[in-house]
Amino acid sequence: MRAGHRTITGTLVIATHNPGKLREMRELLARYRIDAVSAGELGLAEPEETGTSFAANARIKAQAAARAAGRPAFADDSGLAVAALNGEPGIHSARWAGVDKNFMRAMQQIENRLQERGARDPAQRRAHFVSALCVAWPDGHCEEFEGRIDGTLVWPPRGEKGFGYDPMFLPDGHARTFGEMTSDKKHGLPPRGQGLSHRARAFLKLAEACLVR
């Protein structure tokens, strides 16, 4: 833990109703002496994400959960930014999937737009994932961290692991998409994994600052 940061202790609320994110966050927290309960399990409402950045939306979710539960809360806001689409879908990544969370449709929408722009070569299909993490306490204190991973979009999507846009995202230096990677490979922390994903990279910063093993 670095000086100047607040330590996370006791029960932590994971401010998400997304089962994929919840699973990854619990796996990331598993090695630390932290009891975690989700916003969904507590019956907390999902706040409206009105921020204009990943960090702002993560803060909105964490602060809302911390106030409602009276406990520290941990939120992630993440998404896919496609260079040829001027950074879209970005903070609207989940919205592109619609209320039914149909990410196959969302991936098809991205592919259609890339094809309209003639983006067929890997160099024209660059993209990156961003994860902004925020831990908020009921008194208003926040700790914020961000991670990013760059890659290329493939078509058709490959693999059924992961969630969201994972099957079409091929991280730089790898032959498998996120959708083809095991949990340990995608977001496992050292020494078992490489802390590869955007969420793992942000979490490693958070852990160094705010968690005690």
**Cβ(8)–Cβ(34) under 8 Å?**
yes
Tens digit of each residue's pLDDT (9 = 90 or more) over 51-79: 999 999 999 999 999 999 999 999 999 99
Predicted structure pTM score: 0.91
Q: What percent of the chain has pLDDT over 90?
A: 79
Q: Which domain holds residue 138?
A: 11-210
Q: Would you state the pLDDT for residue 167?
A: 98
pLDDT of residue 97 exceeding 80, the answer is yes
pLDDT of residue 175 exceeding 80, the answer is yes
* Total domains in the fold of the chain: 1
Q: Is residue 1 part of a domain?
A: no
Q: Would you state the pLDDT for residue 3?
A: 64
DSSP-assigned beta bridge partners for residue 151: 127, 171
Q: Which of 190, 183, 185 is nearest to 204 (CA)?
A: 190
**Range 12-37 average pLDDT:** 86
- Distance from C-alpha of 151 to C-alpha of 171, rounded to nearest angstrom: 4
Q: Is residue 5 part of a domain?
A: no
Q: Is residue 103 part of a domain?
A: yes
- Distance from C-alpha of 147 to C-alpha of 158, rounded to nearest angstrom: 24
User: For position 83, which CATH number holds?
Assistant: 3.90.950.10
List Cβ neighbours of 14 (8 Å cut-off, separation of 6 or more). 22, 25, 26, 36, 37, 38, 39, 73, 74, 75
Q: Would you state the pLDDT for residue 181?
A: 96
- Cis status of the peptide bond prior to 19, with omega within 30 of 0: no
Q: Is residue 56 part of a domain?
A: yes
**Range 196-212 average pLDDT:** 93
157 band by pLDDT with thresholds 50, 70 and 90: very high
**Range 12-34 average pLDDT:** 86
Q: Is residue 170 part of a domain?
A: yes
Q: Is residue 3 part of a domain?
A: no
Q: Is residue 4 part of a domain?
A: no
Catalytic residues: 77
Q: Is residue 46 part of a domain?
A: yes
Identify the weakest region by mean pLDDT among 110-114, 185-189, 191-195. 191-195
